[in-house]
Amino acid sequence: MSVFITLLKKELIEHPRVIKGPLWTGIVSIALTLLFITQGNVSVHVEMNNFNDMNQAMGSSFMAEQGLTSFDHLNIALFFVGLVSLLMTTTYFPKTLRKERTEGSVVFWRSMPISEWQIYGSKLVFGLGVIPVICSLLFLLIQAEVSLFSALLTSNRSFSYYALTMLEGFLRYLGVMGAISLFSLPIACVAMLVSQFIKSPLLAMIIGAYAIQWLTPSLLGTHALSHLVSGVSSVPFRLLSGDALMGTLQWYGGFSLGAYFLLGALSLWFSWQYYQRNALPWQKS
Give the model confidence (pLDDT) of 108-121 as tens digits. Answer: 666 676 777 888 88
- What is the structure's pLDDT at 222? 74
- What is the structure's pLDDT at 104? 67
> Phi and psi of 99, rounded to 5°?
-65, -40
> Phi and psi of 242, rounded to 5°?
105, 5
- What is the structure's pLDDT at 234? 92
- What is the structure's pLDDT at 139? 92
Distance, in Å, from the CA atom of 143 to the CA atom of 29, rounded to the nearest integer, reads: 11
Residues 6+ apart with CB under 8 A from 276: 116
- What is the structure's pLDDT at 251? 92
Report whether 74 contacts 169 (CB < 8 A): yes
Which residue, 129, 123, 120, 141, is CA-closest to 85?
A: 129
- What is the structure's pLDDT at 62? 37
pTM for this prediction: 0.81
> Phi and psi of 82, rounded to 5°?
-60, -40
Q: Is 100 exposed, middle or buried (0-12, 13-18, 19+ CB in 10 A)?
A: buried
- What is the structure's pLDDT at 285? 53
> What is the SS3 string spanning the chain?
CHHHHHHHHHHHHHCCHHHHHHHHHHHHHHHHHHHHHHHHHHHHHHHHHHCCHHHHHHHHHHHHHHHHHHCCHHHHHHHHHHHHHHHHHHHHHHHHHHHHHHHCHHHHHHHCCCCHHHHHHHHHHHHHHHHHHHHHHHHHHHHHHHHHHHHHHCCCCCHHHHHHHHHHHHHHHHHHHHHHHHHHHHHHHHHHHHCCCCCCHHHHHHHHHHHHHHHHHHHHCCCHHHHHHHHHHHHHHHHHCCCCHHHHHHHHCHHHHHHHHHHHHHHHHHHHHHHHHCCCCCCCC
Residues of the chain with pLDDT under 70: 1, 39-72, 104-111, 113, 153-157, 277-285
Other CB atoms within a 10 A radius of the CB of residue 269 amount to 13
Distance, in Å, from the CA atom of 181 to the CA atom of 126, rounded to the nearest integer, reads: 11
- What is the structure's pLDDT at 209? 86
- What is the structure's pLDDT at 228? 87
- What is the structure's pLDDT at 212? 85
Contacts for 13-20 with beta carbons within 8 Å, 24 or more apart? 14/96, 14/99, 15/92, 15/95, 15/96, 17/88, 17/91, 18/88, 18/92, 18/130, 18/131, 18/134, 19/134
